[in-house]
Amino acid sequence: MKVTNTAAAIAAYVLCCRDLVSAGPVQKRGVLDPLFEITTLGGMTFKISQVPNKKFYGQRKGRGSMAIARAYSKYGAAISDDLLSTIEEILKELGLLGNDGAGNNTTADPQGEVAAVPQMFDSEYLCPVEIGTPPQTLNLDFDTGSSDLWVFSSETPSIQVMGQDAWDIEQSSTAKLQTGESWAISYGDGSSSSGNVYLDKVSVGGVTVQNQAVESASNVSVSFTQRPDTDGLLGLAFGSINTVKPTQQKTFFENAVSDLASPLFTANLRKAEPGNYNFGFIDTTEFTGQITFVPVNSSSGFWQFTSEGYSIAGSSAVSAPHEAIADTGTTLLLLPQEIADAYYSQVQGAVNDVSGAGGYVFPCSASLPDYTAMIGSHQAVIPGDFINFAPVDGDTFEDATTCFGGIQASPANFPLAIYGDIFLKAQFVVFHGGNNELGFANKPL
């Protein structure tokens, strides 16, 4: 693919390369939910278990720089010229960014990328979703930081499809085009995805919505074209940020919630092993102690909550109230700058290498302290070894001397911290749509 400038080439690439985990067989179950004193026998429940995706294409080196650039781009924050230059050098070294001789930067075919071990940098999770009649199964990214269900389809130009399974609209007898409706998502790198809107039958784990809005991509940004196993996104934030115009559409969860035994879903992501999502029930074997529920401010369309402060290495709590988002679609834990600074002041040799790696780095031999987020009465502990995210100057932790931190600063002028997978892999999280709450509990790690 040809692009016309360095920034576009790099920004297009940084969104595309993520470790993938896909979902395995689902299981329906009914349980007694002691937290809400109801017996979940009258509605549907299902579990989606994650398994490693063996077809992942990605790179080891530069994972930290890529991760922070992806997060900033997702929320429309500017990526600094220094970070773009750093990523350019990484891609050139990996043979993934070159020059066509006419001054235009090019990105390599993703089939030539170096395969990464999913468990090392587990940062994206895919789940099977059935669409249409007869059902067509696509692997979608469940994302609590967005609200569109969009897919590669028979309307997607063939040049933009690079290994993805596409929804064949004409093969679905229940697909209904919504004339006059369209969707478009823009990203911080200047790219976008857009297309038409259909209503069709969508099933996840045996729960079916008959007239779910399915957004068919007639244009896909390079950032998604170069992710060969991601067939689209299933947004699990609130419908108020759905991009369909002129009529916003409800998310799958919002449409399915009345059929669920309890109006909630849970995320139990894991470090270096498969995790799962549960819909309609809380599995009491997946967490320890009690679940602490806190109010959600959904006015921005996100699962937004307040963290009252933090502690480092088990020290006394520091009051530092800040608003945050629980986002399964972001890899890192992005905190206010002063909190990130406070954390790395406790890590020997750590430096904020903004002009190089794009954020905080430290000697791989350093011992990282635990970080504890204070959320209501809950103390959410993220072990230090979870925070050692990726090597900077080597392909593996064993051959690297410098490592990139899983805690980084949230974008300047962005009002919310982003509690991504570094945080979520250490916690059991309940997304309660009935009470508009988030629940947090510790779990076996």
Active site residues: 143, 307
Q: How far is CA 263 from CA 36, 38, 240, 256, 414, in A?
A: 11, 12, 18, 9, 31
Q: How far is CA 303 from CA 127, 204, 319, 434, in A?
A: 20, 21, 22, 13
The four Cα atoms 305, 306, 312, 316 give a dihedral, to 10 degrees, of -140
Retrieve residue 347's tokens.
Answer: 């890590």
Residue 363, phi then psi, degrees to nearest 5? -60, 135
Q: Identify whether the C-beta of residue 278 lies closer than 8 Å to the C-beta of residue 430.
A: no
Q: Find the helix or strand (DSSP H, E) in which 131 lies.
A: strand 124-131
Q: CA-to-CA distance for 323 and 329, rounded, in angstroms?
A: 18
Retrieve residue 244's tokens.
Answer: 């369909």
| Angle of helix 81-93 versus helix 63-74 axis, rounded to 10 | 130
